[in-house]
A and B are shown apart, each in its own frame.
Chain A
Amino acid sequence: MRRGIVVLMVVVGFVLQATAFFFLAAPLGTPTAVRFSEPRLPFAPLLFIVGIMLVFSAALVYELLPDRGADEG
């Protein structure tokens, strides 16, 4: 259960980063028009950072989340 959450957080985090970087923030390429300087979604960089934080928060969850299971000593 905990492991599932952790893996999910890591995957969602990376997907969020990739999506925000390539599809939601300003497009890459030689700037020839206004759109190269505008994010496709406002606050896309914030989403990118949230993605990074999700990935690293997975470690926090892994260590801190009590697992309803057998591995308590």
Chain B
Amino acid sequence: MVTRNVTLPQQAGRSPSGWYATIAVLVALIALGIYAYSRELSEGMAVTGMRNIGPMGGATWGLYITFVVYFVGLSFAGISTAAVIRLARIDRLRPISRMAELLTVITLALAGLAILADLGQPLRGIVNLFRYARPQSPFFGTFTLVISGYLFASLVYLYLDGRRDAWLSEQTAERHLGFYRLWAAGYRDTPAERERHDRATFWLAIAIVPLLVTAHSTLGFVFGLQVGRPGWFSALQAPAFVILAGVSGLGMLAIIAAAVRRWLHREEELTVAIFRWLSTALTILLLTYLYLVVVELLTNLYTGSSRERDVMSELLFGEYAWIYWGAVGTFVIALVLLLVRAALPSLRSAVWPVVAVGGLVNLGAIGKRYLIVVPSQTKGTLLPYDEGSYTPAWTEFALIIGLIALGVLAYLLFTRYFPIVELPRPATSEEKEAR
């Protein structure tokens, strides 16, 4: 058995079976997404299913904004897991730290692309946002704190945290040495250097946590401050955004960790204890989120204005009921699965329940994000326009699937060329002597 201390996930020159086929499928999906976007650019956003609110009876924010919120939500758990590991010194969780950081970086980039896809004038958007962005608009927070600030901070964190592994890889790899050397940037694994690294990443983690809470809250404010949209105007939006972000992000992290564990044979480092921690965190967050769901339900049904009640009853009994009950159902089933897993000794060391929960809560999160965005537009006009409807067009699905494929591709490529699990520290000279 080859010693795995300092080897890369893939030996140079060897690709796992199905690698090229997977890449080909992903590239095809991305190409389809690009084609859909090109149609949108040339023919206008009429190719989507979105239409004006009011006389036209449509929804003007649809699948794109749904996934902007979903992607930003996923990014929350990534870096916050890495930060918690660093700040609370939960060393046994370090193996998932880089997976989490990478998840944040990639999903934030996807969120930025999804926003661009939703703009009627994307090039103007890029210039005018940097030039004219107004702090009074909740989008200011999304644009500056989330897409620019948070992404940059996470990139810095990912970079600094990977220097050591870049240095180790440079010593043992046969190819791509320039890339590792660039990343390592003169790392020398001395105790002084390690201490400096620890301190830098510690303070970085402390700085990132308030940034990400503010950033996700402003995304909630985008919706929660709008008095004109029944179903949106609520003080619960910001906290609910943050909590659901944690749920979906940790769920995705569980899926990624299980995939790495299975396909890269990392049973040794990605222990069951890690999945147990993930399931505990998921349980707490899910309980909190379901509490918020109940609070929102009771508030709107008991005493909301008639428009609020209209939107709520559409969610519970009308056109959107299948999504609402489906999403709530996934959360409840996920919670039950987690509690059963904690109770039954036979399941306590199983990984698959946490993966199943991860899948369920992500489906539920997508559904819930869709329900935040759409029904308040089609069924929530304050003036008595006719009821509206919205169905995403093929271009929207193609573009979103293309974005997801892009994210998966980026993740896979990273895993191919860089250790996704932190490499164990090789024994220092003192430790070797002590043996």
Residues of A within 8 A of B (CB): 21-22, 25-26, 28-29, 31, 36-39, 42-43, 45-46, 48-49, 52-53, 55-57, 59-60, 62-64, 66, 71-73
Contacts and interface: CB of A to CB of B under 8 A. Distances in A.
A36 B132 CA distance: 11
B14 interface: no
Nearest to A70: B192
B182 interface: no
Contacts of B148: 49, 52-53
B133 A45 contact: yes
B192 A59 contact: no
Interface string B165-209: 000000000000000000001101011110011011101100100
Contacts of A64: 185-186
The residue in B134, B140, B186 that gathers the most chain A C-beta atoms within 10 A of its C-beta is B134
B192 A25 contact: no
Classify the interface of chain A: helix, strand, loop or mixed: helix
Given A52-B145, A59-B160, A73-B191, A25 B133 contact: yes
Given A26-B136, A45-B140, A73-B191, A63 B149 contact: no
Contact of B132 (A22, A42, A62, A73): A42
A57 B199 CA distance: 14
A26 B201 contact: no
Contacts of A63: 160, 163, 196-197, 200
B131 A45 contact: yes
Contacts of B394: none
Contact of B192 (A29, A31, A36, A71): A71
Given A25-B134, A45-B133, A64-B185, A55 B192 contact: no
13 contacts: A26-B136, A28-B135, A28-B136, A37-B134, A39-B133, A52-B148, A52-B149, A53-B149, A55-B207, A56-B152, A59-B201, A71-B192, A73-B188
B144 A62 contact: no
Given A22-B135, A59-B160, 6 more contacts: A42-B131, A43-B130, A43-B131, A46-B130, A46-B131, A52-B152
A25 B131 CA distance: 9
A23 B211 CA distance: 21
A73 B192 contact: yes
Nearest to B152: A53
B83 to A, nearest CB: 13
A63 B106 CA distance: 24
A21 B156 CA distance: 23
